[in-house]
Amino acid sequence: YRSTLTDRILSLTLDAVERALEAAYTPAGPAKKISLQGLNLILEKLRFLWRVVHARRFLSNQQHTFVCLKLDEIGRMVGGWLRSLEGRIS
């Protein structure tokens, strides 16, 4: 069970990096917005999996807090990126 969670978290983390790179190199427009929305969804999945890991006591409270703060920071960055596109996309 633990290795399944680890594999899934690693896979989603790599997916998030790929999606961020995809968005960074996509010109402003609907395709960029779709990439960023997909990145947001991946971040939500990661938040959920980290909560499961914490609930199973595979992480200390301090480790969980660290992960949550980093995921929230990334989420705020992605949200700002999406808001910056609002005026550019019709």
pLDDT at 90: 52
Report whether pLDDT(89) > 70. no
Is residue 29 left, alpha or beta, with left meaning phi > 0 and alpha meaning psi from -120 to 50? left
- Per-residue model confidence as pLDDT tens digits over 4-37: 999 999 999 999 999 999 999 999 899 999 999 9
pLDDT at 2: 86
Distance, in Å, from the CA atom of 84 to the CA atom of 31, rounded to the nearest integer, reads 14
pTM of the predicted structure, to 2 decimals? 0.89
